[in-house]
Amino acid sequence: MKGIVCKVCSYVAINEIVPEQCPVCGAKSFIEKDDALKTSADKAEKGETEKKHIPDIKIHKACGLIPDACNDVHVKIGEILHPMLTEHNIQHVDLYANREFISRVMFTPDRLNPVASIHLKSGFSGKLAAVELCNVHGLWFNEVDF
């Protein structure tokens, strides 16, 4: 899948608009790539590599912290949990609402599982997307309807 990738921090603009500056690191240097992101559509049948990398996005409409104004979004990498080893790990998950960047969750491999949670204000409708970066296998994308 096409994307505009920050040369510094691997943020990907998925709306096909080159940002003035990277919303994550502030850099102003991007590269447009036709194959920036791997998706489930890249292979007709999901193999183990796909199952370990495609972000699994789950929406929980009832939040335990802000019950009347929040929806929880949980992202797990992936359907088969990805390893978190020094030599092979998930570095970050970026989240997008209607293809606009909203958050990055970063990981260190020693103590963290490759799972991210965000608290989205109530009232959103549309599509939620997640992009994850594996230090060995690159950038992977998934998107769901909210």
Active site residue 52: yes
Which element (helix H / strand E) includes 72? strand 70-76
Distance of CA 56 to the CA centre of its chain: 9
DSSP state of 38: B
Choice between 29 and 39, CB closer to Fe ion: 39
Least Å from the CB of residue 141 to Fe ion:
14
Task: Find the shortest distance in angstroms from Cβ 80 to Fe ion.
Answer: 11
Q: Which of 34, 87 has the CB closer to Fe ion?
A: 87
* 82 included as an active-site residue: yes
- Picking from 40, 37, 33, 39, the residue whose alpha carbon sits closest to that of residue 18 is 33
Q: State in angstroms the smallest separation of the CB of 60 from Fe ion.
A: 26
Q: Residue 51, interface with Fe ion (CB under 5 A)?
A: no
- Contact positions with Fe ion (CB under 5 A) in 118-137: 134, 136-137
Measured CA distances, 124 to 8, 41, 68, 103 (Å): 30, 26, 14, 15
Site for Fe ion in 95-114 (CB under 5 A): none
Question: What's the DSSP call for residue 82?
Answer: P
Which parts of this chain interact with Fe ion (CB under 5 A)?
Answer: 134, 136-137
